[in-house]
Amino acid sequence: MAAELRRTTCSRDCPDACGIVAKIEHGEVTSIAGDPAHPVTRGFLCFRTSRYPDLAAGPERLRQPLLRRGGQLVPVSWEEALATAAGWLRTVRAESGPEAVFHYRSGGSLGILKQLADLFFDQFGPVTGKVGDICSGAGEAAQIEDFGTSDSNALLDLRNSRHILLWGKNPTVSNTHLVPVLKEAKERGAKLVLVDPVWHRAANLCDERIQPAPGGDFELAMGIARVLFDRGWVVPDAASFCDGLPEFEAMARSRSVAQWAEAADVTTEAVESLARKLHDGPTAILVGWGMQRRVRGGAIVRALDALCALSGNLFRSGGGCSFYFKRRKAFAPFGPAVVPPRVLREPVLGQDLLAATPKIRLMWVTAGNPVAMLPDSTTVAAALDAIERLVVADVFLTETAKRASLVLPVPSLLEDDDLLGAYGHHWIGESRPVVAPPPGVPHEVEIFQDLARRLGLSSYPQGSIDDQKRVALAAVAPMGLSLEALREAGGTVRSPVSGPVLFGHGKVLTQNGKVQLLREEPPAQRDAGLAPPSLPGGSAPLWLFSNSTEKSQASIWSGAGLGDHVWIAVHPDAVPGIPDGALVRVASRRAELLAQLRHDNAQRRDAAVMPKGGAFERGHAANALIEARATDLGLGAAYLDCLVTIAPVEGRD
Ligand SMILES: Nc1nc2c(c(=O)[nH]1)N[C@H]1C(S)=C(S)[C@@H](COP(=O)(O)OP(=O)(O)OC[C@H]3O[C@@H](n4cnc5c(=O)[nH]c(N)nc54)[C@H](O)[C@@H]3O)O[C@H]1N2
Ligand SMILES: Nc1nc2c(c(=O)[nH]1)N[C@H]1C(S)=C(S)[C@@H](COP(=O)(O)OP(=O)(O)OC[C@H]3O[C@@H](n4cnc5c(=O)[nH]c(N)nc54)[C@H](O)[C@@H]3O)O[C@H]1N2
Ligand code: SF4
Ligand SMILES: [Mo]
């Protein structure tokens, strides 16, 4: 039988939402590649998803529902699984009210139809919900405060930039399809600057590299602001479109450029160079997600927003301060917004679960692995273990699924059927099953349709998956983006509700149409009060970066994975006498783990870098070391406000 090519869209939690072309032979996916016709994908996929077919065929793939009996997870029929789930939901609601049920949904699939899981729990309850957003909470809240929305100029508008500032961003690893756009901009003469305490491969793309102190971006931004004010580089009409200009100016002028530079641990030349680049625009600031995962993260993003506005780059093509692309903007919601009876805070979920009174008796996890991915894994794991009924819907047997009372398999990203918006560009995509899921595995929406029938939720939508897609596209279908139009176009269409420039007319979307400038200095980064224990032969406290790695999507690893030990990369001067490759103790205030040391001369001497998605049970999870703390805005998680010490393993070195 000849090979057949089938198209879909990647639904992983990634800015790129790639078009995928799958090669099918004898009913199986033999390889996948990037869609050459997709304007952002341009024919290539990342490391982790190119290898996804192996993962989906591997031993961790869930194929049957599993029910805990006598302490073991045993395979059961779908009928038994769904009858059990419905029975538990009914009983807990009858005995303890809907607030005893908690639905936790994360970003394992960004499919728009995943919101039908939320609709189910809204109609069944409403149940206890989560507030906050550990991924982008602080940054989005900052931009909403300043601009009234968090969205971006069109991705390809970067072709019009004279300078591009990659601020705490590593596109090579976590936004791969931005790289060709950056290269194109360079070919047109744009200059690129990287501002990141960590040295990574994206540095090779850049003309200038600045490695500020971790979290020192606020001071760096204020130094730049001071230069803009001193040189007359603040646009003359700034007061007409900004609120808070006198306060912001006073803050910038409260220290000299040299003082700000010193506090950020950069040279005054670096500060001046960045100010000059903002003045010599159009200059785009591309704000990464890393630095907003700090207690002062919201204030840092607000400071960058202010630099963009005051230097005259906010309203112009080639400019903008881009953090996020509003991926749901084109889609209609499936139901009205519902006020939950109570909420738990995502960044401190373990603590909030343990403290909840009355207790959470049933927790349903959709598309998340909180044990590995939320801060303070030990507390999260203990909180999950204390719940009477934990239901986990996932593609793989994750560390969260292993703790469940009931595990429900769902289609993999190559078997799913959904709609996708992207948070790194403005194209809309359709995902279509390129192969069938394992026998009996329903579409995730069909799980909720079945439960709704069992529980008598008569207004839960019971139509086909295509019907649900049409509901989601209702607002944009009259603008030419119907399901049929999407299919005719090969599965990808540019969103009709996003233009080339986000704020074209000198106005933002705040209540009074003016940019709201940051008015107050946030507490110093060093006030974090997170000193690690002192260990014999241990290093000075090092800031722990738990960054994305090419080989994993959060906790889901492709290829060989981490092996026996998680790695930690540091400058050799930070760990005098400990050789490259040695096994070391890594200790924070919360916990300690073993890691394999990697010497890296390019890193700052106060930084240590680990992958973000290591397994908790194997002692590979950065999140075991990280304290659960919320950010200043948006209830994000301050993952990066973590100090560790690195010490030799006694008797081994
Ligand atoms: N391969 C891969 N790609 C992914 C993911 C993945 O797990 N693997 N995850 C996806 C997800 S969920 C998201 S939200 C996105 C975004 O993910 P990001 O968090 O943007 O991705 P990272 O590549 O970890 O980049 C964060 C960068 O911020 C830097 N940083 C940290 N603290 C500071 C600071 O104080 N100042 C400055 N200037 N920089 C700082 C880090 O050193 C790092 O280089 O990526 C997505 N892409
Ligand atoms: N230390 C540290 N921790 C971090 C970060 C960091 O930078 N440092 N980054 C944070 C960020 S940005 C994020 S977004 C979170 C990510 O945290 P999570 O969203 O919990 O990340 P994953 O481990 O990818 O878990 C998603 C799960 O969804 C499953 N899944 C995929 N598709 C579907 C589906 O269609 N239905 C269902 N039911 N399940 C599906 C996947 O198999 C996977 O197990 O991690 C955060 N944790
Ligand atoms: S994970 Fe991101 S880069 Fe990789 S295929 Fe999916 S959308 Fe593309
Ligand atoms: Mo994320």
606-627 pLDDT tens trace:
999 999 999 999 999 999 999 9
Q: Which residue has the tokens 């202010």?
A: 306
Residue 244: both structure tokens together? 């808070």
Which tokens in the block code for residue 98?
A: 């809907």
For the CA of 408, the closest atom of ligand 2 is 38
- Structure confidence at residue 222 (pLDDT): 98
pLDDT confidence of 652, banded at 50, 70, 90?
very low
Pocket of ligand 1 (CB under 6 A): 13-14, 48, 135, 167-170, 173-174, 195-198, 200, 214-215, 217, 288-291, 294, 545, 547-548, 550, 552-554, 613, 640
- Tell me which ligand sits closest to the C-alpha of residue 551: 1
Q: What percent of the chain has pLDDT over 90?
A: 97
Q: Ligand 3: does its nearest atom lie under 6 Å from the Cβ of 414?
A: no
The angle formed by the CA atoms of residues 104, 109 and 112, to the nearest 5 degrees, is 90
What average pLDDT does range 322-351 have in this prediction?
Answer: 97
Q: How far is the CA of 135 from the centre of ligand 4 (A)?
A: 4
Q: Where residue 651 falls among pLDDT bands split at 50, 70, 90?
A: low
State the DSSP code for 440.
Answer: T
| Peptide bond between residue 126 and the one before it cis (omega within 30 degrees of 0) | yes
Cβ proximity of 196 and 211 under 8 Å: yes
pLDDT average, residue stretch 140-159? 98
- Is any ligand 3 atom within 6 A of the Cβ of residue 49? yes
Minimum mean pLDDT among 8-12, 95-99, 532-536, 606-610: which range? 532-536
505 band by pLDDT with thresholds 50, 70 and 90: confident
The amino acid that residue 95 corresponds to is E
The Cβ-side half-sphere exposure at 32, using a 13 Å CA radius, reads 29
Q: 289 C-alpha to center of ligand 4: Å?
A: 8
Structure tokens at 489: 């176009």
Q: Tell me, what DSSP letter sits at residue 547? A: E
**Ligand 1 atom nearest to CA at 613:** 7
Long-range contacts of 233-241 (CB under 8 A, 24+ apart): 233/275, 233/278, 233/279, 233/311, 234/310, 234/311, 235/310, 235/311, 235/312, 238/309, 238/310, 241/309, 241/506, 241/507, 241/508, 241/513, 241/514, 241/515
Query: DSSP readout, 293-313?
Result: SSTTHHHHHHHHHHHHHHTT-
**Ligand 4: centre distance to CA 473 (Å):** 25
Reported as a single tens digit per residue, the pLDDT across 4-21 is: 999 999 999 999 999 999
Token pair recorded at residue 498: 């996003």
3-state secondary structure of 210: strand
CA distance 145 to 69: 50
Q: Does 653 have pLDDT greater than 70?
A: no
Q: How far apart are CA 401 and CA 55, in angstroms?
A: 17
Question: What domains appear along the chain, each with residue ranges and CATH number?
Answer: 66-133+329-494 (3.40.50.740), 137-323 (3.40.228.10), 542-648 (2.40.40.20)
pLDDT of residue 37: 96
Nearest CA owner, ligand 1 atom 47: 174
Show the ligand 2 pocket: residues with CB < 6 angstroms: 13, 106-109, 134-135, 366-370, 372-373, 393-396, 398, 410, 416, 444, 546, 553-556, 612, 622-623, 626, 639
pLDDT of residue 528: 64
**Is a pLDDT exceeding 60 seen at residue 106?**
yes
pLDDT at 1: 64
Q: Rounded to two decimals, what is the model's pTM? A: 0.98
Neighbours of 576 (CB within 10 A): 8
Name 209's bridge partners: 194
* Euclidean distance between CA atoms 8 and 433, whole angstroms: 7
The mean per-residue pLDDT over the stretch 369-376 comes to 98
> Per-residue confidence at 2, pLDDT binned at 50, 70, 90?
confident
Residue 453 has pLDDT above 90, yes or no: yes
Token output for 87: 């029975």
Q: How does pLDDT run across 408-444, given as a tens digit for each residue?
A: 999 999 999 999 999 999 999 999 999 999 999 999 9
pLDDT tier at 362, thresholds 50, 70, 90:
very high
Please state the rounded mean pLDDT for residues 228-243: 98
Q: How far is the CA of 612 from the centre of ligand 2 (A)?
A: 11
Which among 7, 8, 9, 16 is the best mutation to test ligand 3's pocket, defined by most ligand atoms within 8 Å of the CB?
16
